Structure 1
Amino acid sequence: MSWIGFRIFLALVAIGLGALISLLLQDWLKMPVVANLIGVASASLGLLVLDGVRGHRLLSWLRGNQESSAPRDTGLWGELGYRVERALRLREQALARERLQLQQFLSAIEASPNGVLMLDTQDQIQWCNRVAADHFSLDPQRDLLQRVTNLVRSPTFVDYLHQGLYTEPLMLPNPRGPGSLSVIVRCYADGLRLVLSQDVTERERAEAMRRDFVANVSHEIRTPLTVLTGFIETMGSLPLTEAERKRVIVLMEQQTQRMLTLVSDLLTLAQLEGSPRPGGDRWITVDGLLARVSADAVALSAGRHRISCEAKSQLEIAGNESELLSAIGNLATNAVRYTPDGGAIDIGWRLQADGCLQLWVHDTGPGIAKEHLPRLAERFYRVDGSRSRETGGTGLGLSIVKHVMQRHGGSLQIESELGRGSDFALLLPAVRVRAIAIAETETSAAASR
């Protein structure tokens, strides 16, 4: 029954009760008019009291927190309570969805590697993520509703924010330490602004390394070309004796070989950086690898050093054979080049407790100062540039070794001290190391299947 039908039913009941009261009073009072008036008043009062009680219950529920259900009355007040409660519940659900979406959106921004700062029309901070707080030395909670220009005192940033020309990003020094921040502002809504910050320290460092790399390559190639050009002009313009001519040709061959070695190392680096990592299905014996490296070192030394090699590991390593041979070979070659005549060079291996394999080269050379050790694997970095060129080095050998180790999931370890020689080691992860006996067992099992 609808609330209108119920109201009509209540009205009919009230009329019936009023008529009954009127009839009873007429017999008692003997005054028909007064009896009728009392009957009508009684019926009306009953309806008013009933509506008042129901209305009061609904108003009491509305004045509360609306956590409980609305009064479940029949008729108009029951229908009204149900509709009001349903509207409130729908609004609460919509607000909950919006709060969830907002929370997810802010969580996504919080996870961003870039800083995000929201400003109102008065430059007050409405919200910021932790990255922006770190970039600008802010507190994400304490500094809310504070003017950002009162907290970030950089005059360059304040001028950039107030000028309103946001076509180009602003470069700022990182207040938390060495480095740079890239800051750009974007306007949205009515006068609101979004300040986006990004730590570009690594990018600038990479760009500087790229510039240095190009400059170093140009210098390294220009030097032998200049020498060759001078010799060619000398041979073309001056009469030379046979001995002088042979000496010039030998020097020209040395410079040509130096330039070819440099180009070869550059191509090797490019190939290492551009090719996929070696798989784990190609196994190389450690003993064979060390034996080849030792033989090359003995040939390069030509009897000037005492070279020993321990090659009885009975181990295999997974990877690219030519890359690993190049890596350990570079270490042995450097040891021969920089160790004075009569010095000792040891090549060996060590299996660590965690299963990782260490291939090492120890020499009794002059050693390297500690301040140079962190930069030794950088391209073209030399402790002594003139001495490196005299020994035929290009400055790319250790960089190649580092890239080979990274591609195999390993690392290059360097320990050295002036006057006490150097230790260079390649550390390969346990997943790339296995015993030959295990390998033979796996091969036999595969054959039997």
Structure 2
Amino acid sequence: MSGSESSPRPARFVSLRWRLLLPLFVVTLIASMVGTYLLTRGLSSSQTTIRDNLLRTTSAMIATCAADLYERQLTETRLLAASPAVTDAIQAGDAAALQTIARDRAARAGLDSLILTDVPGAALVNVLRPLSEGDYASSTGADLSVQPLLRAVFAGEADEATSALPTPDGLIVYVAAPILADGVQIGAALTGLYAARIAAALNADTAAEVALYNSDGVLLASTLSDSRSVAEIPVRPNEVQLLDLGGPYLGTHVPFVYGTSTLGTVGVFTPDNTASLIESGRQMSGLVWATLAAAIVIAAFLLVNGMMGRLTNVTRVAEALAAGQGLARTGLEPTDEIGVIGAALDTYAAQVQERQDALRDSLRRQRREIAYLNSILEALPDGVIVQDEAGHVVFMNDLAKDLLGSQRVVDNSSFDDLTAVVTDVLGPALAPGVYALGDPKQVEYDGRMLNAQAAAIISMNNQRVGTVTLLREITGEVRRERGREQLLNRLTHDVQQPLASAAQTKALDSPSALSAFAREIARHAVAMQKIIVEMRELTDNVDSRAVRRMQRLLPLETLIWAVANEWRQVAQAANLTLQVSIEQAGLYILGDERRLRWAIGNLVDNAIKYTPPGGKLSLEIKGEQEGMARLRIRDNGVGIMPDELPHVFTRFFRGTPTMPNGRVIRVPGAGQGLTLAKAIIEAHGGEISLRSQPGKGTAVYFTLPLTAPVSLEMGSDDSELEGETVQIKTQMLKRGWRDDR
């Protein structure tokens, strides 16, 4: 049988249309008949029973609403009695505070009256608003001790009590609760609502007319406009009455229970329209059920017929797809199970077509992207080598081939040969899959210096799939750097040695007439040395990675003494007193000694340059805080102007330090010492700040991270620090070392 032929149906085949339609028709017909019978029978039941049920239901709703209203009023009463502000005001006898609290609470809770009393029952404050919703009026001193609800509360018979008290505007229903202070009664709180307002609330919640009577049957409040007629109705609890109150009404009376007290009775009145409703219901029921039965049968037929049509469509498309007709579609929306099946068939056919089209487009796009990527990599100014995870070269641009060997030889090599060339030339520092990727490496090859940087190629799922290496020839840069380094070394040696020797000799041995000249020579010698060091530091990488490469364990106090001894002669030549203060000994840091000594020395140099002769400066270790060593360098020099303070750490910024007599201090320099000092301290993980007052001096505060002396093994060779510090006694560490002239 060919794929295009439909499958033959079995002899006992019955259409699903009839399997669904016939049972549904029978069930609908039976349900319609039973429903019509039951509804007619129910509507034909006793009219009196319907009235009784209606009034009973309404009365139960009235009781529930009254209970809810009481609970809200009781909650407000308890909150008021438990308020610390009320308790404090009663104990303090603060009538003004009680009046303010009472007004605010009454207005916020929608109460008609609020009373606070002492233990005998005298009203400390009584706020009352008229029934016409006016403002609250206040009074005090009323004696409520004879009221039953207060006596019950004060006697401890109940935690709360309810009672109705008369007022000029009508009866008010009060709820009382004791006020306690440390377990002792100090008064009572009463909240009240007008009986008329309670009746209105019950009317609003149940849509029934309500009348409230006291225990003697006297009308207290009513929501009916004809109060006289209501007052004449005899109070007969739980008895249904047919009344004429401007129209036929059904009425009954039930106990008025408010909380734990029965305050009287509640009259419940509803319009008597049950007869007309029963008749109308009887007439409508037959029509509704007949119409409903017909509608159900018709709708069922149309629904089943439509459903079967959609099933037929799905069946046809499924057979066509099975026969290989990929363009067949049902066109159904997935609004139900049949639609979901049809939409799934359509989606399947569309996805097959889309996958074929997408595969062709993807192949074209990948070819274009590969060609585009190759063009970009060839146009880069660096050599590019791409290797897979196993280290095999999969791409190398022409510049990389030129850097690694003869262009002709490399062009004729296979990718395996290129892999061997890359491994041999770049060496183990960059061999993929063997060594970890790191900082850029310099590789010398065939008389040239190459800068090589390797990076991992990461896929979308965060998996490493290969390595890319960038090559750049830096032969010229390296030669220039080496020449510059040789020039700086030669300049350092030529300037430092003769000037330093001459300055020290004249400062110590010359007569006073030549002392000033010696100091000037020493000052210029130090400035020239500092400029040379700054030139060297400008070209170095002052960052955390460079510092980590050179750091080692340093005793902080030894470092400070070394800096002090370095600048000792300079301070003496400037007629200054240099002090060292160690407030906490035994601190250790990890750092680059050369850079730290230069940075701290630069701060000392600035203090010397801008402090007049006869002044003082100090190097201080203040202690530690939160794992940081706190240090300070201060002087009593000329200080810094306030408008210059924000710029002192700006490279090449030079201020105008001025003596008290107005003379500007001129010193040599490039204006970058503080900038480099800040960079070195921050590269070590520290912070630096500066405070200054013109004419009084400057203080530089900086911190350095501490480390434990056992965190790194201290080497036995301390040659870099030996001979550079002075030996001092223990007691001198406490009072500080002074180097006097």
Which structure dedicates a bigger proportion of its chain to helix? 1
Q: Considering Cα pairs closer than 8 Å and 6+ residues apart, tell me whether 1 or 2 has the greater RCO.
A: 1
Which structure dedicates a bigger proportion of its chain to strand? 2
Q: TM-score, normalised by structure 2?
A: 0.28
Q: TM-score, normalised by structure 1?
A: 0.44
Greater Cα radius of gyration, structure 1 or 2 = 2
